Structure 1
Amino acid sequence: MANFKAPSDFYLRLVTEFPPRPIQDEALLQATQERINQVLSNPLNDDARDYLRVLGMLIYEYEEQTEVFPKLTDEERIQALQEDSVD
């Protein structure tokens, strides 16, 4: 582990105050988004950016698992593409 960097006290404080956990429901999603906003309201250093990256990945993973996209027929898909090209 040549590139392992021990976590700073600041990073440990971030993780202790709001531990990154897999998001299982909308309540934890909202809490995670609020935590991101709290961190962003202060000057960012490398530790804060690393922490935000972890929280962002958890949100992305949750949204990938829960977002439902409607199934479109081929005709509906073509129509939607045609509408987009007109705009």
Structure 2
Amino acid sequence: MTSGLKTPSNYYIKLLTTFTPRPITNEQELIATQNKINSILDKGNITQDDVDYLKVLGTHVYDYEQQHEKMPTLKGVALL
């Protein structure tokens, strides 16, 4: 038996079913995920369920960007 896990609210289940978090595999999925994040942030009155869901989506965005978006190497004046 697993203890410590709380039962998800109906709202959280709705979040999960209307935009199911999955690993991001392409630019279109990245944009869709970023748009979903923005729509939650724009609504205001962020609930704990929103925060939890945003963490999941944010992790997928971070993972995708770490794998696919290279940081430029800056030297000299460009570094400043």
**Structures share fold, TM-score greater than 0.5:** yes
Per-residue deviation, residues 41-77 of structure 1 (Å, max 9, x unmatched)? 222110000000000000000001101245x6xxxx7
Return the TM-score normalized by structure 1. Answer: 0.79
RMSD: 1.7
Q: 1:63 aligns with which of 52, 62, 65?
A: 65
Q: Which whole-Å CA distance do the structure 2 matches of 1:36 and 1:69 have between them?
A: 23
- What's the TM-score, normalizing by structure 2? 0.85
Q: Aligned partner of 1:6: which letter?
A: T
Query: What is the count of residue pairs matched by the alignment?
Result: 77
Overall identity of the aligned pairs, in % = 42
Which consecutive unaligned segments of at least 5 residues does structure 2 have?
Answer: none
Match of 1:41, SS? helix
Quick one: distance in 2 between partners of 1:46 and 1:62?
25
Equivalent residue, structure 2, for 1:41: 42
